[in-house]
Chains A and B, each alone.
Chain A
């Protein structure tokens, strides 16, 4: 300030102007510090996402690595799961998860893709405005509510069909299929929506019917998006816990390879963790193995999601090329 006065930039007499200037200067500094601070915080919260995923994996490893170190792998992936006798073969659980998920996907792919085609290509606007919220409601129904219904209402129905018990792979698959439908439908619908209108107009203009246009033009163009939808549906199904736990019968056996395979009970990896973690002693081998199953689930879903998001990247790059 003295300097400014000496240079006659600011008149000596006018103290109020000097005061104002001084105030502005000090405000500026607080503002800059605040800005710096807040931008670092925002940056840090972005970075924290990577840290959180890493932490989840590290904590799973910390509690569960003993399962892979202390049990010979041949035994760990063995065919018998008898925790009480100290026999931890997780193969039946893996088979259970695969069977229930495969059944769910076999039901959900046709239902999901066709419903997406209906909503995206065929339904009039008013139906679309009605259907989308209904699908959102399905996504919102808690899994335990669907599990409860499966247990109390669906299982007796299935038993009446002639199965020895209503709590079977099929019951689980059916409920899981509906639980993964919202994921499959919304992502495939986005994929269909991303196909340029001009493709459809071109096909219709040369005389194709609406169905021919969908089958020969729209679906192939949306292919990679549909694959991603199915992958994420699988990811959703394999990680589902409560509904599956209630309706698949929880028998940790490898089902017999017979035609009635899907009407046998099974037990998934997720249900095993949920059912047994409450009863084990912390730090025991059983406890580590349950965390070990968690590690396997983490790795599977991590792989599915990483590959799917890579494909999304490829797809976006492809579209950019087309536009360019």
Chain B
């Protein structure tokens, strides 16, 4: 049995995700689309907080809401002619899009509700996942250690910085 506050929180999160993700792909203004994406990302961070993964929620807010959305806004500003209103977003191939989306959602939905018995257990308790356990796991080479992916990500980010500078610099 969940507490009433959790249930209300869940309803708000689910409604936010559904409404704003539909709006983000149907709105006519691109800056609004980026703003709706921000709301969806914040609701996702709220899901992570509900799952007791506080560090992951903080990362989601810092990297996605703080980094990627700002990057999107900068890109939108840089790819429009100054002094003009942004051209409205138009859509084509609506029927193809609706068919692909509808078929995918129905297929996955049928598969999900086929496993409804398996998927209908309530939230199990988890021992406290503190930040020092996370740090130990990230930098250890044991069975559940993540040193190799951690270093691989740092090399990837370096390559990405160099690539971004090389691609976007003025010639």
Q: Is the A/B pair a real complex?
A: no
* Residue positions of A touching B, CB distance < 8 A: none
